[in-house]
Amino acid sequence: MRFLAFIAILAFTVFACGAESPKEQNSTKKPAAKKKKKVDGEKVYKQYCVTCHGVYGDMGASGAFNLTESKLTVDEKINVVTNGRNTMTPFKGLLSDAKIKAVVEYTEKLKK
């Protein structure tokens, strides 16, 4: 008998306090933050760099440096891609910082 009384009081309390249905509860939640999609450095390389550097980084068209022999650090490469050097065009206004970093990280894989 006590158990039934407990259930009745609990049910009354839930309804009296304005409990929301699960559907209503979900609608008041803030949307989950969008996960940042990882930039595909290889894709960016193939779109912007392959014309001069070639698929394997060793083509050297238009004076492009052989990326398979590069001794530059990642930070130095980021600077070159961002600001350009010699005949290489700067990509500062064309690519985001994330894309520049991703393409530089991809070029590290081209080293022999």
Residue-by-residue pLDDT tens, the chain, 112 positions: 665 555 556 454 545 444 444 554 555 555 666 677 899 999 999 999 999 999 999 999 999 999 999 999 999 999 999 999 999 999 999 999 999 999 999 999 999 8
For residue 77, what are its two tokens? Answer: 């490469």
Which among 111, 49, 42, 39 is positioned nearest to 74, based on CA atoms? 111
Instruction: State residue 6's pLDDT score.
Output: 52
Three-class SS state of 85: strand
Treating both helix axes as pointing N-terminal to C-terminal, what angle do 41-48 and 97-108 enclose, rounded to 10 degrees?
90
pLDDT value of residue 45: 97
Residue range 41-108, CATH number: 1.10.760.10
Model pTM score: 0.67
The DSSP letter of residue 63 is G
d(CA 73, CA 85): 15
